[in-house]
Amino acid sequence: MNKTEQRILQVSENLFSQRGWQRVSISEICDDAKISRVTFYRYFKNKNALLKHIFLQKQQRVTDHYSQLLDDAKNIEEVLKGIFSYQENALNQFFTPNILKDFDQNQDPELIEFFQMQHDHKYHFLDQFFATLQARKIIDADYPTILIHQYLKVMDELMFREQIQENYKEQKSTLRKDILKLIMFGLSGPKK
Chain centroid, CA 156 distance in Å: 12
Q: Using CA atoms, how far apart are residues 49 and 42, in angstroms rounded to an integer?
A: 12
Residue 185 contacts by C-beta under 8 Å, 6 or more apart in sequence? 76
Interior/surface letters 99-137, b for 16+ CB within 10 angstroms, e for the rest: beebeeeeeeeebeebbeeeeeebeeebeebbebbbeee
The pLDDT assigned to 181 comes to: 82
The pLDDT assigned to 153 comes to: 81
The pLDDT assigned to 45 comes to: 97
The parts of the chain modelled with pLDDT lower than 70 are: 91
| 142 φ, ψ (degrees, to nearest 5) | -80, -20
- Nearest to residue 100, comparing CAs of 159, 36, 25? 159
Whether this prediction's pTM lies above 0.85 is answered by no
Residue 135 contacts by C-beta under 8 Å, 6 or more apart in sequence? 141
Task: Give 94-133 pLDDT, tens digit per residue.
Answer: 788 888 889 888 899 999 999 999 988 888 888 888 889 8
The pLDDT assigned to 56 comes to: 94
| Burial of 189 per CB tally in 10 Å (0-12, 13-18, 19+) | exposed
7: left (phi over 0), alpha (psi -120 to 50) or beta: alpha
Q: Using CA atoms, how far apart are residues 171 and 97, in angstroms rounded to an integer?
A: 10
Q: How many CB atoms lie within 10 A of CB 191?
A: 7
SS3 113: helix
The pLDDT assigned to 91 comes to: 66
